[in-house]
C-alpha cells in the first residue's frame, strides 16, 4: 500500500461519525491489515458494570472494515463470528488487529483479535468479506483491477 492511500484511510477514519462517537482510532493500515485503538469509557458499560459486548464488537468491526477495504475496492461483511474471552476493565486501552488469512478476487477471510494494554486476549473473531469490485470513493482513481 502506498503512503498516499494509507494517509487517505487514516484521514477518512478520523471523520467517520460512529468511530468518533466510540473514540475508535485507526493506528495502522496496510493491505490486508489494520490496527485500531479504543479506550473503554464508563459510558460503554452494560447493566452489569462491564464493557458492553457491542463496544468490543464495534472495535473489531472497524479493524475488519479497514483491512478488507485496504486494497482500494469496496468490500462488505458477509459473516462475523465473535468469541468473548475476558471482560476488559473500565479505563483499559484495547487494540484490535485484523489480519487477512485468505483472499480471492471476490472474498477475503480475516482473523481479528482484541487485546488490552497487558496483552490479555479480550475477544477474537473470524470474519468474511465480499469484494464488490468498485472503487472506494475517497481514494484517488487508479488503474482498473
pLDDT-derived band at 140, boundaries 50, 70, 90: low
- Residue 144 pLDDT: 40
123, 114 contact by CB (below 8 A): yes
Q: Summarize pLDDT for 65-104 with one digit per residue, the tens.
A: 999 999 999 999 999 999 999 999 999 999 999 999 999 9
Distance CA 10, CA 14 (A): 7
- Residue 145 pLDDT: 41
CA dihedral (109, 26, 40, 77) in degrees, to 10, reads -30
Q: What is the DSSP letter of 21?
A: H
| Mean pLDDT confidence for 27-37 | 97
Helix, strand, coil share (%) of the chain residues, nearest 5? 25, 45, 30
pTM of the predicted protein model: 0.92
Going from N- to C-terminal start, the domains of the chain cover 3-135
Burial class (CB in 10 A: 0-12, 13-18, 19+), 84: middle
pLDDT-derived band at 133, boundaries 50, 70, 90: confident
3 state SS of 7 = helix
Q: In this structure, what are the phi and psi dihedrals at residue 70, rounded to the nearest 5 degrees?
A: -65, -10
CATH T-level assignment (fold) for domain 3-135? Thiol Ester Dehydrase; Chain A (3.10.129)
66, 13 contact by CB (below 8 A): yes
Burial class (CB in 10 A: 0-12, 13-18, 19+), 43: exposed
Q: Summarize pLDDT for 117-129 with one digit per residue, the tens.
A: 999 999 999 999 9
Amino acid at each position: 500500500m502506498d503512503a498516499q492511500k494509507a494517509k487517505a484511510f487514516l484521514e477518512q477514519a478520523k471523520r467517520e461519525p460512529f468511530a468518533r462517537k466510540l473514540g475508535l482510532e485507526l493506528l495502522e493500515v496496510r493491505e490486508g491489515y489494520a490496527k485500531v485503538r479504543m479506550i473503554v469509557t464508563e459510558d460503554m458499560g452494560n447493566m452489569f458494570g462491564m464493557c458492553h459486548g457491542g463496544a468490543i464488537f464495534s472495535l473489531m468491526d472497524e479493524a475488519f472494515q479497514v483491512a478488507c477495504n485496504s486494497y482500494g475496492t469496496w468490500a462488505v461483511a458477509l459473516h462475523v463470528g465473535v468469541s468473548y474471552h475476558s471482560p476488559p476493565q473500565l479505563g483499559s486501552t484495547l487494540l484490535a488487529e485484523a489480519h487477512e488469512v485468505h483472499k480471492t478476487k471476490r472474498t477475503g477471510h480475516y482473523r481479528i483479535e482484541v487485546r488490552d494494554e497487558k496483552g490479555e486476549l479480550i475477544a477474537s473473531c473470524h470474519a468474511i468479506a465480499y469484494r464488490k469490485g468498485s472503487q472506494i470513493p475517497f481514494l484517488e482513481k487508479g488503474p482498473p483491477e
